[in-house]
Amino acid sequence: MMSNLVRGFKEPINLFLRALLIMLIPMSGSINLDDVTSMFPPYTTCFLYTPQYNSYFEVLFDDLSFYLTNLTIFGRNFILGILLSFPAMVFAYKVAKKSVNQRMWPRGLLAAGITLVLPIILYILLFTEMWWVSPIYYLMERLFVLPSLIIPVFIGLPLIKRFVVRTSSPQEMHGLTMRDIESYPFLQLSRNKIFATILWIGVFFTPIFVTINSYWYYEVWMTSISYSYNIGFYGPLLRESLLASFVYISSLTIEAFAIFAALSFLRFRFINDIFRCLDGMIEKRQVLRIGLLGDILPTILFSLINTIIIFITSGIFVMNSDLQIPLPFLTILGFVFMNRYRPAIKETYKVWDDDIHLMWWEDEPIRIPKADVMQVAPEDWITVPVDYILTSQVRKLRNKKKT
């Protein structure tokens, strides 16, 4: 009884620990390539730590000591993080408890939509009149960014692992839950789940396209569904200025996350088609077609959106001058996954050829050992020439006509 109780609490505790880990992940970070020591400490950009002052530089370590002596702020941020994560956590719990042959992606889409709307609701209910205060401003800034980490961890990863468990197990087991199937060691799911995690990283964190801007200074901007990556260097016009070369990484806000997730709908279709191909439902060339289209289409749509925004704001129709190049990282990872994937065991029970099922009143027949059965080699077969067969058929037809 105690073991069942522990097993029942294991999944919720695991979900809460994952939520805490998300709140400790840095949401942004920058490195000045001319002065690496100027990098912000990682704890300054996680959700649990929200600065109390206007500047990160002046009182950074005093601010940290204030946090350590006033743990109620950690508690406040943790409660807000759990509130934001709760719909996605419920979905992750349901995914583990439902049979793998049930469709769960519509519920995942609903949970993702609720997670994206929750920061706006919390802002309206709690922080409308005090958003300009420095601590609340930094808290709201993190609040509108946290869903871009919650959705991949609690919705994207469980769905991909669910696909892996289903395709890695015999069809007879698809009525079981994901946790029940994972408990069978003979399936050896660990290898496939590791490759599935790499595929998950490719979906949400590898860049979709790269934008190169060389007007004032050389800048390379890459974006994924959850994070953006910027690398800047001195340009020819600002070589002697105070502008520094830099590397900047930041997680996307809820509106940017929603836009890039919508632009990447074919990338999600690509993941689904990978598992359909592993099930033998479609061919690899169809998966390749969807993968390449999913890499190119977001770049085209993003350029069109930029052009429309410029036209609306300025009234001038100017095509986006920045060079944008699609990056096929996800397609490459997808085909590596398909080639390294270990297929499912198709038969859970094997009926041996020499097994004979008898009723209680029947006598067991005499078994002849296979070694005693005469084997006929191919060279001992009797062959008949084709012309003999044709002649025989012609004679049969003539006899039928005479009769």
Q: Give the pTM.
A: 0.74
Closest CA to 126 of 88, 79, 90, 87: 79
- What pLDDT digit, counting tens, does each position of 143-162 carry? 899 999 999 999 999 999 99
Q: Where are the domains of the chain?
A: 10-340
The SS3 of residue 177 is strand
Q: Considering only 26-40, 101-115, 259-273, which range has the smallest mean pLDDT?
A: 26-40
The residue whose two tokens read 């996350």 is 257
- What pLDDT digit, counting tens, does each position of 76-106 carry? 889 899 999 999 999 999 998 888 888 898 9
Q: Which residues, in sequence order, are CB contacts of 358 under 8 Å at separation 6+? A: 364
> What pLDDT, on a 0 to 100 scale, did the predictor assign at position 348?
43
Helices 190-204 and 157-167, axial angle in degrees (round to 10): 140
CA distance 128 to 122: 9
Closest CA to 302 of 263, 353, 245, 249: 263
Judging by beta carbons within 10 Å of its beta carbon (0-12, 13-18, 19+), is residue 73 exposed, middle or buried?
middle
CA distances in angstroms from 172 to 92, 175, 181, listed in the order given: 24, 7, 11
Q: Which residues, in sequence order, are CB contacts of 50 under 8 Å at separation 6+? A: 73, 77, 135, 138, 139, 142
Q: 288 versus 234: which is more confidently predicted?
A: 288
Mean pLDDT of 254-280: 90
pLDDT band at residue 235 under the 50/70/90 scheme:
low
pLDDT over 50 at 55, yes or no: no
- What pLDDT digit, counting tens, does each position of 296-313 carry? 999 888 888 877 877 777
Helix runs in 34-182, H state only:
60-69, 71-97, 105-122, 134-143, 147-151, 157-167, 178-182
- What pLDDT digit, counting tens, does each position of 329-360 carry? 999 999 888 888 877 655 444 444 455 555 55
pLDDT over 90 at 395, yes or no: no
Q: Concatenated DSSP letters for 302-322?
A: HHHHHHHHHHHHHS------S
Phi, psi of 229 (to 5 degrees): -130, 125
CA distance 152 to 25: 13
The residue whose two tokens read 């922080």 is 127
Quick one: DSSP state of residue 245? P
> What pLDDT, on a 0 to 100 scale, did the predictor assign at position 113?
95
> What pLDDT, on a 0 to 100 scale, did the predictor assign at position 353?
46
Q: Which residues, in sequence order, are CB contacts of 271 under 8 Å at separation 6+? A: 160, 163, 199, 203, 334
- Give the Cα-Cα-Cα angle 93, 97, 103 (nearest 5 degrees): 95
